[in-house]
């Protein structure tokens, strides 16, 4: 029997999906790397700024959080099940999950959910022609407001819901006791990050031209922010204005390629001379006060232009003469500009460069035949993650400081995968704090990298064998950065395995779905679905706690309601369209 087949049968035995299993047919212990990964090799000597190998000797301190969480989840008995819930029996007959059918005609709206009760006790929904607050204990639904036209939720919290009904901007308390019309003839509306005010576009009362206004979410006199608003693509874009993180200022375009910034409650407009050409370059620093983009100066020479909410004077940075600019970004801290471009030479090599926002010489971070920027990483977001390739060699996964220096090689990715899809192969393994990255290298090993120190460590040498995965299948890191899900699909047969950051196998599911998969917010459950069937795997118990099949509709990608609850289509014939499932 081949090794992979033996491992897979052992995994089936562990998951209870294989009969005739003996004590000998148990999951093998995953091998922790004591040596160098097969992806560790010398980089192409043609590369400018030859990367150093961070995997030499198999050493490193790549973990954050110190391994898998301990202990199982607390069982939920029938006496603690919310009123109106229906127990779902496991194979052994014990209730392991509880389904709460939403009232007939009700559905969650929008998804991901907006909460209308403290501690996630009530959720916003639509019941017939009413915006409703739906309790998750099965008690009576509260009607917030009746609607007769098109509906868009602008903002919602446990106190108030702001919504756009056709072209009427309205606000209502979640108890349904108070409702007010904030504005009429509204085309587009968006709430500030703190939800205290709503910025909207509506015709100016005198000129009829589209203007920009804001109003308090609870009601009051609207403030005119600008008499002019450039709206060529207004209804096709996700946003035509952008807030600073503190909700104090709002950027907008008041003429073609002309950005302006104004206090969100009204005040003096700070006008800038130009803005980005492309929607893709509307990328601000994390505080929302600075933006960098490609432009040209008065002599039509290409430049990088930096605009600030604190000054009307732009900072223009000349581009290297031998380089075409492809994309420009500003660092999350707002102090660095990242430029991706390619040389004007016949061989057209790709380069990553950086400079300070107040100007100065460009620093070459990397130069390769092919180069893709995957984002700013590290706990300070001061590192750049790149994939690089020279000739026909396998792609390298690199990390380089924005301040400059030799790129560090984290590993080698599979050359069998289309280069365009490398971001999807790598980025699901990135932690939310940007410090940790889990990925599979070119020989199928599972690698864990600490991006703060550019150090990587092989934790399973044959990770692909756990799920019989191809090398183009990536890894998914849990929210607490302590668990890694490996998934694969061969035609329609999908498999999942979860390991901790030492490589120890924690749980398996040979019936995984292929469309979407995600960890619960507390990292204890793994959900996966194929569009119509949902499975929830308890990692601590190594047990599938919930299976939902043949629902009355497709499964949404945003299935998690909170840490222990998912939303699925309701069963056929139930009279409901959705149900919420508590997975104890």
Whether residue 509 has pLDDT greater than 80: yes
pLDDT at position 382 is: 96
Q: Mean of the pLDDT values across residues 374-388?
A: 96
Which residues are registered as beta bridge partners of 455?
A: 450
Whether residue 481 has pLDDT greater than 50: yes
Task: Return d(Cα 282, Cα 253) in angstroms, integer.
Answer: 11
Residue-wise pLDDT for 539-565, tens only, equals 999 999 998 876 567 888 888 998 889
8 Å CB contact between 128 and 576: no
Residue-wise pLDDT for 429-445, tens only, equals 999 999 999 998 888 89
The least confident of 148-162, 301-315, 317-331, 461-475 is 461-475
**Parallel, antiparallel, or unpaired: how do β-strands 52-53 and 408-412 relate?**
parallel
pLDDT at position 328 is: 94
8 Å CB contact between 164 and 171: no
User: How many CB atoms are located within 10 Å of the residue 418 CB?
Assistant: 9
- 368 exposed, middle or buried (CB, 10 Å; 0-12, 13-18, 19+)? buried
What sign for the dihedral angle of Cα 416, 422, 428, 432?
A: positive
Identify the band that residue 119 occupies on the pLDDT scale cut at 50, 70 and 90.
confident
Element (H, E) at 214: strand 210-216
Q: Mean of the pLDDT values across residues 555-577?
A: 87
Task: Return d(Cα 479, Cα 404) in angstroms, integer.
Answer: 30
Residue-wise pLDDT for 316-364, tens only, equals 999 999 999 999 999 999 999 999 999 999 899 999 999 999 988 999 9
- Nearest alpha carbon to residue 258 among 289, 278, 230: 230
Three state DSSP letters for 264-307: CCCCCCEECCCCCCCHHHCCECCCCCEEEEEEECCCCCEEEEEE
- 17 exposed, middle or buried (CB, 10 Å; 0-12, 13-18, 19+)? middle
pLDDT at position 487 is: 83
Joined together, the tokens standing for residue 224 give 């005119």
Q: Mean of the pLDDT values across residues 49-78?
A: 38
* SS3 at position 328: strand
Q: Mean of the pLDDT values across residues 399-422?
A: 87
DSSP string for 365-382: EEEESEEEEEEEESTTS-
Mean pLDDT across the chain: 82
Per the listing, tokens 């047969």 go with 493
Q: Mean of the pLDDT values across residues 367-375?
A: 95
- 313 exposed, middle or buried (CB, 10 Å; 0-12, 13-18, 19+)? exposed
User: How many CB atoms are located within 10 Å of the residue 301 CB?
Assistant: 12
Per the listing, tokens 């309701």 go with 570
How far is CA 70 from its chain centroid?
27
Nearest-5° angle of CA 96, CA 99, CA 101?
175
The least confident of 146-160, 427-441, 487-501, 553-567 is 487-501
Per the listing, tokens 């890191």 go with 477
Q: Mean of the pLDDT values across residues 134-139?
A: 89
Element (H, E) at 493: strand 493-500
Cis peptide before 63 (omega within 30 of 0): no
pTM comes to 0.80
The least confident of 17-21, 75-79, 323-327, 426-430 is 75-79
Q: Mean of the pLDDT values across residues 47-63?
A: 42
pLDDT at position 112 is: 87
pLDDT at position 381 is: 95
Please state the length of the chain: 584
* Rounded alpha-carbon distances, angstroms, from residue 251 to 212, 272, 288: 11, 10, 9
Which residues are registered as beta bridge partners of 188?
A: 201
Identify the band that residue 470 occupies on the pLDDT scale cut at 50, 70 and 90.
low
Identify the band that residue 13 occupies on the pLDDT scale cut at 50, 70 and 90.
very low
What sign for the dihedral angle of Cα 383, 285, 193, 558?
A: negative
The conformation of residue 406, written as its DSSP 8-state character, comes to P
Joined together, the tokens standing for residue 534 give 């949902």
Residue-wise pLDDT for 187-245, tens only, equals 999 999 999 999 999 999 899 999 999 999 999 999 999 998 886 554 444 467 899 99
């Amino acid at each position: 029997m081949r090794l992979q087949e033996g491992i897979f049968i052992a995994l089936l035995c562990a998951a209870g999906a294989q009969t005739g299993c003996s004590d000998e047919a148990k999951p093998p212990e995953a091998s922790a790397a004591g040596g160098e990964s097969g992806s560790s090799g010398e980089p192409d000597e043609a590369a400018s700024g030859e990367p150093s190998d961070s995997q030499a000797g198999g050493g490193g301190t790549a973990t954050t959080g110190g391994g898998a969480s301990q202990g199982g989840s607390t069982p939920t008995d029938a006496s603690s099940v919310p009123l109106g819930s229906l127990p779902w029996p496991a194979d052994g007959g014990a209730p392991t999950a509880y389904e709460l059918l939403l009232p007939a005609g009700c559905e969650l709206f929008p998804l991901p959910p907006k909460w209308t009760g403290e501690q996630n006790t009530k959720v916003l929904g639509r019941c017939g022609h009413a915006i409703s607050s739906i309790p998750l204990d099965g008690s009576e639904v509260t009607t917030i407001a009746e609607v007769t036209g098109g509906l868009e939720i602008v903002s919602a919290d446990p106190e108030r819901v702001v919504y756009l009904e056709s072209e009427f901007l309205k606000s209502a308390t979640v108890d349904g006791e108070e409702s007010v019309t904030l504005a009429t003839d509204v085309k587009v509306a968006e709430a500030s990050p703190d939800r205290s005010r709503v910025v909207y576009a509506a015709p100016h009362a005198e000129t009829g031209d589209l203007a920009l206004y804001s109003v308090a979410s609870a009601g009051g006199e609207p403030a005119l922010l600008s008499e002019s608003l450039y709206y060529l693509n207004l209804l096709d874009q996700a946003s035509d204005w952008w807030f600073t993180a503190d909700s104090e200022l709002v950027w907008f375009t008041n003429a073609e390629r002309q950005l302006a910034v104004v206090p969100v409650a009204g005040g003096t407009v700070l006008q800038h001379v130009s803005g980005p050409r492309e929607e893709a370059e509307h990328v601000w620093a994390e505080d929302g006060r600075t933006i960098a983009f490609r432009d040209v100066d008065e002599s039509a020479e290409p430049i990088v232009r930096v605009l600030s909410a604190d000054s009307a004077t732009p900072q223009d940075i000349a581009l290297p003469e031998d380089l075409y600019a492809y994309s420009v970004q500003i660092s999350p801290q707002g102090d660095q500009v990242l430029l991706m471009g390619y040389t004007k030479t016949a061989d057209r090599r790709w380069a990553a460069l950086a400079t300070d926002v107040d100007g100065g010489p460009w620093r070459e971070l990397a130069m390769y035949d092919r180069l893709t920027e995957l984002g700013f990483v590290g706990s300070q977001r001061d590192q750049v993650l790149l994939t690089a390739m020279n000739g026909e060699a396998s792609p390298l996964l690199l990390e380089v400081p924005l301040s400059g220096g030799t790129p560090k090689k984290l590993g080698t990715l599979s050359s069998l995968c289309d280069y365009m899809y490398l971001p999807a192969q790598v980025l699901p393994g990135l932690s939310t704090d940007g410090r940790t990255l889990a990925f599979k290298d070119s020989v199928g090993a599972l690698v864990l990298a600490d991006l703060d120190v550019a150090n990587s460590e092989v934790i399973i040498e044959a990770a692909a064998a756990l799920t019989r995965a191809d090398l183009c299948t990536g890894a998914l890191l849990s929210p607490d950065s302590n668990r890694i899900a490996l998934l694969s699909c061969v035609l329609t047969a999908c498999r999942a395995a979860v390991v901790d950051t030492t490589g120890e196998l924690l749980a398996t599911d040979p019936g995984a779905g292929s469309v979407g998969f995600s960890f619960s917010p507390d990292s204890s459950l793994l959900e996966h679905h194929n569009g119509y069937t949902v499975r929830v795997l308890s990692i601590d118990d190594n047990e599938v706690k919930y299976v939902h099949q043949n629902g009355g509709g497709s499964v949404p990608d945003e299935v998690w309601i909170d840490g222990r609850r998912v939303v699925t289509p309701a069963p056929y014939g139930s009279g409901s369209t959705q149900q919420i499932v508590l997975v104890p």
